[in-house]
Amino acid sequence: MISKYANNELLTQGLVADILSVSKETVRKWEKSGDVVPYKKTADGMPLYRWSDLQKFPEIRRMEFSNWGAECKTRPVRIFNSVELFAGAGGLALGLEQAGFGAVALNEADHNACETLRKNRPHWNIIEEDVAKIDFSRFKDIDLVSGGFPCQAFSYAGNRFGFEDIRGTLFFEFARVISETQPKVFLGENVRGLLTHDGGKTIEVIKSVIKEIGYTLVEPRVLKAIFYRVPQKRERLALVGIRNDLLEHMPAFKWPDPAQRVYTVRDALKKGVLYKTEVPSSPGVSYTKWKADIIANVPPGGYWRDLPIRMQKELLKNSFHLEGGKTGIGRRLSWDEPSLTLTCAPAQNQTGRCHPSETRPLTVREYARIQTFPDEWEFCGSTMSQYKQIGNAVPVNLAEALGRSLIALLNAIERADPHPALQAGECLTHNQYGVRTSEKFIQMMLLDPAILYLVHDHPVTLLGTYRKTCRDWIVSNRFYNYPVTESELDTVKELLAVRNLILKRKGVKDLFFKVEGYSIVGKSDLLKLGYKTSKSHPAKQRYILYKLSPFYEPMHFDETKALPIVGKGVSVPQKNAASEIARKPTLRKPPKASSNKRAI
């Protein structure tokens, strides 16, 4: 597919430099020597380059004949289960979700980041805890472990680079979780400096440990975010590993091809291709007056060297006479180029990111857009905490591109050894998918499909039904939802106290699950999970969404003694603040079979 640049757009000097990974000064030298020739110049003398005149550069050819369009159509053959560590504000997790992964658990120690995750994805299983204190071996049938572990030096014992030698580092925890959960593949991401960190010893230790725990590392790749619909000059090192028993499928993994244009700050903050509206207003920090008076003189795309000498000295103070480029100081972004890499503090001297045309740091929402978070993704905590969460995140669009490459690999593995949910005509029977077979099929259905039943008090065990078309969705995603009212949530305590769940359907085998937790969600939340709610349900209908996990012990129950607790025909008392309501609801009349099913 030929890039849209070929016919529709001219490239600025800055964009050419970004695509070719050189400085603007280098492009200017090429122009003087005749190696590149501007097609024309703007009214203020800035050169513009034609795509077709840059064909000798391999980076340009890779973009022009990229397979990006086809890769964007990659869809998972089923929802693949993932565990994420160091989840932060969710940039990586959201991108992977958009690619087709379903998060079974996300671990993060920072409270504000956890609140951000909970606010935006109430159904996600967020584990707010030090990763070193968590046993992940309870998570079974995991397809992917992902996370951005911090770059740390290791203590070396002689020449041995073993798993036990890295104990106490966060990479040790990352490797431990991989070892405990045995995913098919893993994805680690880090700063590009990891490749040369500690003289290259750090990456060698990582490779050695990955080999020791039974995985093979694909040759690491530094990915430039600008090539993946991210309007930011951010670079991340990606580490992808495949379990050794699946190495025959390694050729199915391909690093994502580049998108066919580069996006700029204008694309991020203005209405256009990336976003359908102008950037919303949001909180932000400000400069002190003396600093604002100086930064006001920096041109778009410029920095401290573009100031008069007097202002340079005033801004840099004692740093003015020090060696080094100090290129991060006094930076103003340009509308027509990607943003500089966002940091955790947009107003500090070394990491400042000034708005292209206003003399102020970028706001929280502007930060989020440059990291390609959707506008509906909200951040919790103080303003500075929000900046930190966003600055530390993996750009969502970059994460999605990586996710699609992983999905293509997992699809290949799946087709070679299908998940039971995909085997046509075969009932789901394997423990690890949360399914246990009964000794025989149910030949008759005593239960009303519109009712949820209580079969055990200790622990609370509920019995429900589901639509035939929802079986794969329940098993693959490990969710079960049931429409509820506020009154039912207030009075039917079993709904919130449930620990086990049995699902039945006439003519097929029972499904048995443990209930790990619940969320109260709306129709839009279920749609995001790929579940189509009943058209008969009102737009404001609420659902209790249970998070499920495999149940490995048989559950014995007497179906004839099941107590109806909620659903059609079940009388649920209204909440009364003046008196205690009886704990259990009563049945108004024996339920009749109904085609108006409430349960999924």
The residues annotated as belonging to the active site are: 151
Enter the tokens of residue 444.
């008759």
DSSP 3-state percent helix, strand, coil across the chain (nearest 5): 35, 20, 45
- Rounded to the nearest 10°, the torsion over CA 124, 127, 132, 134 is -90
Beta bridge pairs of residue 110: none
Enter the tokens of residue 97.
């979700």
User: Alpha-carbon distance 173 to 535, whole Å?
Assistant: 46
Specify whether the CB–CB gap between 96 and 400 falls below 8 A: yes
User: Alpha-carbon distance 133 to 111, whole Å?
Assistant: 16
Enter the tokens of residue 11.
């490239």
78 CB-contact burial (10 Å; exposed 0-12 / middle 13-18 / buried 19+): buried
Beta bridge pairs of residue 222: 237
Q: Which stretch of DSSP H or E encloses residue 408?
A: helix 396-416
Enter the tokens of residue 532.
């189509």
Cα 48 from chain centroid? 37
In the block, tokens 């490797």 appear at 175
User: Alpha-carbon distance 241 to 92, whole Å?
Assistant: 17
Cα 29 from chain centroid? 41
State the chain's maximal CA–CA distance in angstroms: 91
Enter the tokens of residue 267.
């694309």
Specify whether the CB–CB gap between 350 and 333 falls below 8 A: no
**CB contact burial 290-317 (16+ within 10 A = b; e otherwise):** ebeebbeebeebbbbeebeeebbeebbe
Specify whether the CB–CB gap between 295 and 361 falls below 8 A: no
User: Alpha-carbon distance 373 to 119, whole Å?
Assistant: 14
Other CB atoms within a 10 A radius of the CB of residue 173 amount to 23
In the block, tokens 């998940």 appear at 419
Beta bridge pairs of residue 49: 11
* Closest of 599, 544, 600 to residue 122, by C-alpha: 544
Phi, psi of 84 (to 5 degrees): -120, 135
Enter the tokens of residue 218.
């694909």
User: Alpha-carbon distance 586 to 593, whole Å?
Assistant: 18
Enter the tokens of residue 266.
């204008």
Other CB atoms within a 10 A radius of the CB of residue 145 amount to 26
